[in-house]
Amino acid sequence: MMRIKITFLVLVSFLLIGTNLNAQSSLAAGTQIVMADESKKKIEEIAVGDEILVFNAKDKVYEEREVTKINKVMMNRLVRVTLENGVQLIMTVEHPILAEKGWASIDPNQTMINKKYQQVARYNLGEFTLFYNVTTTDYVEVNIIQGILDPINTYSLEVEDNTENDAIVANGFLVGLN
């Protein structure tokens, strides 16, 4: 009986870890998303039909897009990226970030599982990432990258007419979509 319980626990742990490793591009609860009217809303408060600000990296313009789907997943393998200006973003390791060199992530191999992102560089300390504030989009240096193992609710958004060139504004970072 004890052997069955241990086998069951190992199986459940494996399934939970496996699910966590295959989840794509999620942002932690509390992440501030810039809305179409330039107000900010926590990602967990966004609803299908809300209009958010999307950066079209190909045309270098901001556009309004409607949220068409929201996914919520509890994750326990995340990363916190802190910029030189003190702003932080907590996300999954495969989440693409728009950097000076193009799309980048902590784990590019996992990012490229999503067929939209076939050219992704490794995101490292000292990188420069695009950062949005109301008047400009500037490059800001990454100062700290820290792993997080605590369970956290995460969310991913899907928007209308989504392409590989689109990024949403999350805590000022320009990040990709699923």
pLDDT higher than 50, residue 15: no
pLDDT tens string 27-44: 999 999 999 999 999 999
The count of other CB atoms within 10 Å of the CB of residue 5 is: 9
Residue length, the chain? Answer: 178
Distance CA 99, CA 131 (A): 9
Across residues 46-64, what is the average pLDDT?
94
What single letter denotes the amino acid at residue 80? Answer: R
Q: Classify residue 1 by burial, with Cβ atoms within 10 Å: 0-12, 13-18, 19+.
A: exposed
* Percent of residues, the chain, with pLDDT higher than 70: 87
pLDDT tens string 149-172: 999 999 999 999 888 889 999 999
The topology (CATH level 3) of 2-176 is Endonuclease - Pi-scei; Chain A, domain 1 (2.170.16)
The count of other CB atoms within 10 Å of the CB of residue 154 is: 25
